[in-house]
Structure 1
Amino acid sequence: VRWSGERADIGGVVYSAGRDCVIKVWNPADGSMITELKGHGHWVNTLALNTDYVIRSGPYAPQEDRKFKDLEEKKEAAKARYTEALELCGGERLLSGSDDFTLFLWRPLASKTPITRMTGHQKVVNQVAFSPDGRWFASASFDKSVRLWDGRTGRYVHAFRGHVGDVYQLAWSADSRLLTSASKDSTVKCWNVDTRKLQEDLPGHADEVYACDWSLDGQRVATGSKDRLLKIWRH
């Protein structure tokens, strides 16, 4: 599920996807379905928006130490950051990943036809995630790879290889330079997007690592594992 910032007149729109292979677009104000997006041939496992980071962080930009006097000022700052992000990204885009090994890039409120269909993974696509600046997106797969794609066009850029087990989850640093992946092989790997190389290998867990996430300021990474431990790593 993803909650979009588009259509502010109805409080945004909500995207959902599942085993019926269909992405549904909902009006949260009255619960009605706006449209359906079809194309995947199997379950849709994951959705991401190129505005996810700015929606999540609201008025708080990591590079600023700004104080707000009231809630209204926070709302205005959040709206301004969202609008700026849309301009930089060329509009809001939705990304979907599926059990059919493919990804689709959409402009869901403009067309039912995807911008592009992306292939290359040899197994299930488990998660997709846009970089905070919207320039890139990445996909994690059970084929043990992490793939990097152009955030506007969906053009394939690079495959990060090094995991020896399924890759479960991804997370981007706030500056969009580092990409972290969590894997069945019990490791967390941090990839440098500029050099296309492994920056850090974090092998501290004793079992499969299911989840990872960066702090909003880009200083720390949290990971959760089947070993029942939550670890915090400092960048």
Structure 2
Amino acid sequence: MQDGYLLDHLIDHMLAAGRTTSAEAVAGDLRWVEARLAQRGPTAPWSDLTRIDTPHAHPLAHSLAQTAHLLAPTNPPHALASVLRARLDTHPHWQPQITACQHDPAQRPCLTNEWPLPDAFPPALQRTLTGHTNWVHSVAIARDGTWLATAGDETVRIWDRATGSCTATLTGHTNWVHSVAIAPDGTWLATAGTDETVRIWDRATGSCTATLTGHTNWVHSVAIAPDGTWLATASNDETVRIWDRAFVAQTSPHSGHTYRVHSVAIAPDGTWLATASNDETVRISDRATGSCTATLTGHTNLVRSVAIAPDGTWLATASTDETVRIWVAADQPPVTMMRTEGPLLSCAWGAAGELVVGGERGLYLFKLRT
């Protein structure tokens, strides 16, 4: 019990005593990391380093966060230390300590890296979240940035941003969940699935508060209006449907596409929406009337995703024709077209005007110049 208390609280006591340098030395010692890993799991040594607000401790915590998903218990238990060392071997801080351990005659025999690992993590990767048992189709980030939700297999999972832990698993869909959206105030979520339903979830309790039915085929996409009073869904049944949040009822279906509708996005002012379809078109619709005000053409294959910029000025579309196109106004050709390698499946705007595009060959980041 005394050893457990020491491991759990030593870093806090050292920081409280103003001994930041000593705390950094302890938390950055590989032997301490291995002890904490065996005692409490990968979150413990990472948490120790995040408490130390120094330029040196930050990258050490980052390196542990990157590899946390690989540090599950092993059989035999002591093999876990070998996994840790193999993943940290190229880090300039950990590598000398790992080399020293390898030459320590008291150490158990273990495998060592002869060459850099082929699946080494890129510097931008912060953490890998594991738990879904099949494809992950969708991710949404809460407005305050402290948590996120993912949709895959037949579940929706809620994750803590800081620790990477799954805080809730929402179940109720009877087939794959294809899309998840988080309400502006963060109190509820909406999900869409291949069971032809849309479900509303309470964030606090994880309970399903409503099941919306009406689509007659898979529901691929769900979007929530900026004011949180309504939502839109897109389906394989070639329609987009609008739902009133208060009455949990469908107010009006939008039609016009001639093939599956894969994506729907709502403008920041809530007066219009954009939809992307396998019919190779993007349609702009008036929220109040449901009428199509413009059809954007130019893609030469399935349009899998549409995203509206935060200021409502720009519209981006991603297609399996290996291009992402930027549109500035209705009834005009795209302002610009960027060609990539491989089919594109998703696009999203960042707050600073950057565009992130995901495809079968990887992620692309574009910065639009105005």
Taking structure 1 as the reference length, the TM-score comes to 0.75
Q: CA deviation at 1:128?
A: 0.5
How large is the RMSD of aligned CA atoms in angstroms?
1.8
- C-alpha contact (below 8 Å) 1:44/1:98 kept by paired residues: yes
The one-letter code of the counterpart of 1:26 is: W
Equivalent position of 1:16 in the other structure: 150
The one-letter code of the counterpart of 2:248 is: G
Equivalent position of 2:242 in the other structure: 148
Deviates more, 1:32-41 or 1:161-170: 32-41
- C-alpha contact (below 8 Å) 1:130/1:151 kept by paired residues: no
The one-letter code of the counterpart of 1:130 is: I
Unaligned runs of 5+ in 2: 1-138, 330-370
Q: Select the residue among 165, 182, 193 that pairs with 1:98.
A: 193
2:135 counterpart of 1:2? no
Equivalent position of 2:279 in the other structure: 185
Shift of the 232–156 alpha-carbon distance from structure 1 to 2, 3 Å rule, reads same
SS in 1 for 2:208: coil
Q: Select the residue among 148, 160, 165 that pairs with 1:32.
A: 165
- C-alpha contact (below 8 Å) 1:121/1:141 kept by paired residues: yes
**Within 1, Cα distance between the matches of 2:278 and 2:198?**
22
Taking structure 2 as the reference length, the TM-score comes to 0.49
SS in 2 for 1:121: coil
Q: CA deviation at 1:172?
A: 1.4
Unaligned runs of 5+ in 1: 52-85
The one-letter code of the counterpart of 1:14 is: L
**Within 2, Cα distance between the matches of 1:48 and 1:117?**
15
Q: CA deviation at 1:141?
A: 0.6
Shift of the 210–5 alpha-carbon distance from structure 1 to 2, 3 Å rule, reads closer
Equivalent position of 1:175 in the other structure: 269
Residues 44-193 of structure 1: matches in 2 within 5 Å? Answer: 44-51=177-184, 86=185, 92-109=187-204, 111-193=205-287
- C-alpha contact (below 8 Å) 1:145/1:162 kept by paired residues: yes
State the aligned residue count: 191
Residues 141-193 of structure 1 show CA distances to partners (whole Å, capped at 9, x for unaligned) of: 11111111113443211110111111111111121111100000011100100
Q: Select the residue among 32, 37, 42 that pairs with 2:175.
A: 42
Shift of the 32–126 alpha-carbon distance from structure 1 to 2, 3 Å rule, reads same
Bigger strand fraction: 1
Max Rg structure: 2
